[in-house]
Amino acid sequence: MSNKEKCLIFLDGRIIGSVEDGKSFVEEVKKNRRLGILPGEINVIYIKKLNEVHINADRGRARKPYIIVENGKSKLTPELKQKLKNNEIDFNYLLRRGIIEYLDAEEEENIFAALDEDSITENTTHLEIDPVAMFGFTFNTMIFQDFNQSGRYALSANFTKQAQGLYVTNFNKRYDTRAFLLYYPQIPLVNSIAYRSLKMEKHASGQNFIVAISTYYGFNMKDALILNRAAVDRGLGRSIFYKTYSNEERRYAGRQQDKFIIPPATSENYLGEHMYTKLGEDGIVEPEVDVKEGEVIVGKISPPRFLEEQTTFGIGAERMRDNSMTLKTGEEGVVDNVMISEVTGATKIVKIRIRGNKIPEVGDKFGSRNFQKGVVTLIVPPEEMPFTKDGIVPDMLLTPLSLPSRMTFGYILEMLTAKAAALDGKIMDGTMFSKKGKERIDECGTILEQHGFEKFGNEELYDGRTGNAYKSQIFTGIAYFNRLYHMVSTKLQVRSRGPVQILTRQPTEGKQKKGGIRFEEMGRDALVGYGASMVLKDRLLEQSDKAENIWVCKDCGDIGYYDYVKNVAVCPMCSGNNLEKLEISYAFKLLLDEIKSMHIFPRIKLKSE
């Protein structure tokens, strides 16, 4: 494109005119905007490649404030800073005076912003108000972001969501379907400016663990964690699990409705007297009662599903159906509270909150703020854990190999800083870019040395089993860990015998239905490839949908049945009695039935061996 062409001007994407020199036009607009002649909401950019000027004044642009730099000097002078501190001026004053301006994504393209005042050069056009302003609140609640791999924070945000903690302070009055509550939530020893300004310390979601980066007889390979039994017994990572069951008295046509009551023995599907022992007079379980899976917590009777058949004596007395609510499989606890209320239409509803203890056990998941997660593999008695010269036993042992490949240096720095914070008795700041790495280490080092520790956080550890000192020094510190809601007790699933599906007679699926683990297609291929035909038969027939009494007619090939009254097998197709018993998978019998429904008659021809 030649220079002689005019530069087009776009306002919110529409052409409104043209100028000879786009660049100077943009400068003019910017100058007027900073002087307050033009509104501060507009953003303007000159695109050299297209020789176009874009002016944006529409809604929905994300904009961010910058300090303006002119001639290599920040417009926010020390005098202004002092005035700000003394509350003589405010942020809006700076906006009006053209010291700070808001830029949108498009105008940001052409700026040259400096991170701090020291790095301002001649070409610098803008200055960050603070490096923290580069990111959002969620990101800034973490610490030492400038020392970690950036990608890990996207994943780390998930941990914060999954963490157990003090999620609300009125948990006593709430009836959440599922909720976890940490017994002893702690404020992290190292936190950031965003963490404090969001008041997240009021809803802490973790605990400060004393950790040592050490192996333990191979038990913390890969991302496994070792916990100290003594620490767990004192309440480390211990949490409460709340689950709310709700039920209501539903209304039906014909003035019928459900009723909360201890079901009378005459009702249909009566479970037996012993099942209703935990219910109160009103048919609802009493608070502070231990309940286990399968036990009735709400007694309820419902009207019969279909209209009663007419007897010779007219319509018989209504036989109510027992429709009681039981605790689901795999759940147990104490009834925490019961709430009875009414919804519109005056139907009675009941909400029962069950409380359970979740003590950390082998298989539970923990995660740190630096996206280092792990699963507990061993809970070691305190006397077998390594200990320091002061007799401190770590709460947790982390594997050293989790650090080099993930490059989470902030993790190590957090341990060191938190250790210094614990010794000093002060919460320390870990906001990103607020200090340089060496400054931080020196600061922590002096504190550690004041209290008689090695300045880099290394300590001599003694093996709890033998009492001998380890040959090398081991880094110990304090790290903030979240207990995540993935716990074995809610996920463990095992079965040897159990319920089957009605249609296929194959084992059910899912934990709630006491199901099995699927033996899938690729696993099947692997067994075929190995030639293990007996194992294959065991998995797919014996342990699944084996049907032992399938009678097949030798004459016509149809499937018959055994008449236990006459003690003879019968073929319904040719009414013969010449049948043979087979042992096949029930799914195959079902397939044959379905083929028959397509008007195709499959015949099984038997050959004696």
Active site residues: 223
Query: How far is 95 from 48, CA to CA, in rounded Å?
Result: 28
Closest CA to 352 of 466, 217, 245, 450: 245
Task: Give 467 or 531: the residue with its C-beta nearer to another protein.
Answer: 531
- Closest contact distance (angstroms) between CB of 496 and another protein is 20
* Structure-token pair, residue 576: 């013969």
Our finding on whether 15 is near another protein (CB under 8 A) is no
Query: Residue for token digits 């003879």?
Result: 568
- Closest contact distance (angstroms) between CB of 586 and another protein is 9
Our finding on whether 606 is near another protein (CB under 8 A) is no
* Structure-token pair, residue 380: 């070691």
Q: Which stretch binds another protein (CB under 8 A): 189-197, 200-208, 380-388, 534-542?
A: 534-542
Query: How far is 188 from 142, CA to CA, in rounded Å?
Result: 11
Task: Give 322 or 545: the residue with its C-beta nearer to another protein.
Answer: 545
- Closest contact distance (angstroms) between CB of 315 and another protein is 49
DSSP state of 485: S
Task: Give 89 or 541: the residue with its C-beta nearer to another protein.
Answer: 541
Residue 109: phi, psi to the nearest 5? -55, -40
Our finding on whether 532 is near another protein (CB under 8 A) is yes
Our finding on whether 595 is near another protein (CB under 8 A) is yes
Helix axes 437-450, 409-424, angle to 10 degrees: 40
Mention every residue, 6+ apart, whose C-beta is less than 8 A from residue 571. 551, 553, 555, 556, 558, 560, 577, 578, 579
Our finding on whether 529 is near another protein (CB under 8 A) is yes
Q: Which stretch binds another protein (CB under 8 A): 166-174, 214-222, 259-267, 595-603?
A: 595-603
Cα separation values, 341 from 244, 326, 338, Å: 15, 20, 10
Q: Which stretch binds another protein (CB under 8 A): 171-179, 188-196, 422-430, 591-599?
A: 591-599
Task: Give 64 or 537: the residue with its C-beta nearer to another protein.
Answer: 537
Of 531, 564, 565, 567, the one binding another protein (CB under 8 A) is 531
- Closest contact distance (angstroms) between CB of 490 and another protein is 32
Query: How far is 604 from 579, CA to CA, in rounded Å?
Result: 11
Our finding on whether 537 is near another protein (CB under 8 A) is yes
Task: Give 16 or 534: the residue with its C-beta nearer to another protein.
Answer: 534
For residue 228, the surrounding DSSP H or E stretch is strand 224-228
Of 112, 137, 217, 530, the one binding another protein (CB under 8 A) is 530
- Closest contact distance (angstroms) between CB of 504 and another protein is 12
Residues 545-564 that bind another protein (CB under 8 A): 545-546
Closest CA to 299 of 287, 282, 313: 282
Task: Give 185 or 560: the residue with its C-beta nearer to another protein.
Answer: 560
Our finding on whether 541 is near another protein (CB under 8 A) is yes
Strand 396-398 relative to strand 100-104: parallel, antiparallel, unpaired?
A: unpaired
Our finding on whether 590 is near another protein (CB under 8 A) is no
Mention every residue, 6+ apart, whose C-beta is less than 8 A from residue 331. 243, 293, 354, 356
Our finding on whether 112 is near another protein (CB under 8 A) is no
Of 133, 315, 407, 591, the one binding another protein (CB under 8 A) is 591
What would the x/- binding string for another protein be over residues 320 to 359, using CB under 8 A?
Answer: ----------------------------------------
Q: Which stretch binds another protein (CB under 8 A): 92-100, 152-160, 372-380, 587-595?
A: 587-595
* Cα Rg of the chain (Å, integer): 36
DSSP state of 574: T
Task: Give the distance, in angstroms, between the CA of residue 499 and the centroid of all CA atoms in the same chain.
Answer: 30
Cα separation values, 220 from 350, 401, 480, 551, Å: 46, 10, 19, 57
Q: Which amino acid is at 196?
A: R
Task: Give 90 or 555: the residue with its C-beta nearer to another protein.
Answer: 555
Question: Is there a contact between 414 and 480 (Cβ–Cβ < 8 Å)?
Answer: yes
Classified as helix, coil or strand, 357 is strand
Task: Give 514 or 546: the residue with its C-beta nearer to another protein.
Answer: 546
Our finding on whether 467 is near another protein (CB under 8 A) is no
Closest CA to 321 of 296, 303, 335: 303
Our finding on whether 583 is near another protein (CB under 8 A) is yes
Residues 36-95 that bind another protein (CB under 8 A): none
* Structure-token pair, residue 144: 């030492």
- Closest contact distance (angstroms) between CB of 584 and another protein is 5
Query: How far is 263 from 265, CA to CA, in rounded Å?
Result: 6
Of 135, 456, 519, 588, the one binding another protein (CB under 8 A) is 588
Q: Which stretch binds another protein (CB under 8 A): 178-186, 407-415, 424-432, 531-539?
A: 531-539
Indicate if the alpha-carbon torsion angle 339, 344, 346, 347 is positive or negative: negative
Residues 489-528 that bind another protein (CB under 8 A): 524-526, 528
N-to-C CA span, the chain: 90
Residues in the interface with another protein (CB under 8 A) total 26
Task: Give the distance, in angstroms, between the CA of residue 389 and the centroid of all CA atoms in the same chain.
Answer: 39
Of 257, 512, 533, 575, the one binding another protein (CB under 8 A) is 533
- Closest contact distance (angstroms) between CB of 600 and another protein is 4
Note the residues at the interface with another protein (CB under 8 A). Answer: 524-526, 528-534, 536-537, 540-541, 545-546, 583-585, 587-588, 591, 595, 598, 600, 609
